[in-house]
Amino acid sequence: MLQPRQLIVSLYGLYARQHDDWVSVAAVVRLMAEMGVDEQAVRSSISRLRRRGLLDAQRVDGAAGYRLTPLALEILAEGDARIFGRRRATSADGWLLVIFSVPESERDKRHQLRSLLIRMGFGTVAPGVWVAPGHLEVETGDALRRIGLDGYAEVFHGQHVLFGDPHENVGRWWDLGAFHELYAAFIERYGPLRERLARAVPIEQGAAFAAYVEMVTSWRQLPYADPGLPLELLPPDWNGAAAEQLFTDLRGLIAGPAGEHVAGELGTRGVARGGGDTTRRG
């Protein structure tokens, strides 16, 4: 089940950056109500995001609201590339290895490193040795620097040369069964909406907005769990490509009406021009 905090992050990520990074509390409450989230849950979630340093309280023209912080903007820009601009690796991209060693006296740093690498979709080769497709080199370096852990890790980029079957290795380093289940759940949840729209059944702008934000929120975890593993190394029944196509198709169908709806709520045409695409700000 999607949490209010997750939906608010998607709301800000999709639309606030096209509105000077700021949205009024009243607008957030109204928009979240369309997804069945009550005002108390909205305010509680915003408070948590503020404590995490992602939102700043600011008044604009007398209205109370929250603005994205520089940290939030950096994280969202990285998310744009992974969520909307992700490319699937090929074997020619090679592999990224992250090796770290953290003193026992700094166990909290070890936990932070592991948590970061898991969130970025790294697989585990051995204790302290993590692997990901080679095209994630820049993203990995930026993330390690952002949280101040670059001094604890060594990063290598290279090719698998000898010994071991790459197909078997991928199956050991990542839980492909779990990925398959996540993709299947996404297809089951949003496939019927694509079928409905393919029959030219109209969708009201408010419904498009709710569906789009919920879909992006549901999808957001998948490009991080699966870091874009090469298709040639995945099982024949891999359903990730079908799920990616579903996300792309629905985005093309409902992002525009969703943006028009938010434009009306925020009183600006700038949101509608973006159509839910956040890549222009990162």
Q: Which residues contact 249 (CB under 8 A, 6 or more apart)?
A: 194
Task: Please determine, for residue 274, whether its predicted confidence score (pLDDT) is greater than 50.
Answer: no
Examine the domain organization and report whether 263 and 181 are in the same domain.
yes
Examine the domain organization and report whether 212 and 245 are in the same domain.
yes
**Quick one: pLDDT band at residue 164, thresholds 50, 70, 90?**
confident
Examine the domain organization and report whether 127 and 186 are in the same domain.
no
Contact call for residues 28 and 35 (beta carbons, < 8 A): no
Residue where a domain terminates, one of 106, 127, 158 = 158
Q: Which residues contact 82 (CB under 8 A, 6 or more apart)?
A: 139, 223, 224
Q: List C-alpha distances in Å: 248 to 108, 208, 226, 277.
A: 39, 15, 17, 12
The DSSP secondary-structure symbol of 34 reads T
Q: Is residue 89 part of a domain?
A: no
Q: Is residue 112 part of a domain?
A: yes
- Please state the pTM of the whole predicted model: 0.85
Q: Is residue 125 part of a domain?
A: yes
Q: Is residue 153 part of a domain?
A: yes
Query: Which of 22-26, 106-110, 186-190, 277-281 has the lowest average pLDDT?
Result: 277-281
Q: Is residue 65 part of a domain?
A: no
Query: Which of 45-54, 72-81, 114-123, 270-279 has the lowest average pLDDT?
Result: 270-279
Query: Which of 38-47, 90-99, 267-276 has the lowest average pLDDT?
Result: 267-276
Examine the domain organization and report whether 153 and 106 are in the same domain.
yes
Task: Please determine, for residue 20, whether its predicted confidence score (pLDDT) is greater than 50.
Answer: yes
Other Cβ atoms less than 10 A from the Cβ of 264: the count is 15
pLDDT for the residue 103: 76
Number of structural domains the chain divides into: 2
Q: Is residue 189 part of a domain?
A: yes
What is the C-alpha separation between 187 and 211, in angstroms, rounded?
A: 14
What is the C-alpha separation between 145 and 153, in angstroms, rounded?
A: 10
**65 phi, psi to nearest 5 deg:** -165, -175
Examine the domain organization and report whether 185 and 256 are in the same domain.
yes
Q: Is residue 12 part of a domain?
A: no
Examine the domain organization and report whether 189 and 248 are in the same domain.
yes
Examine the domain organization and report whether 140 and 189 are in the same domain.
no
What is the C-alpha separation between 274 and 252, in angstroms, rounded?
A: 12
Examine the domain organization and report whether 154 and 181 are in the same domain.
no
**Which domain does 121 fall in, by range?**
95-158
pLDDT for the residue 107: 79
pLDDT one-digit tens code per residue, 220-265: 999 999 999 999 999 999 999 999 999 999 999 999 999 999 999 8
Q: Is residue 71 part of a domain?
A: no
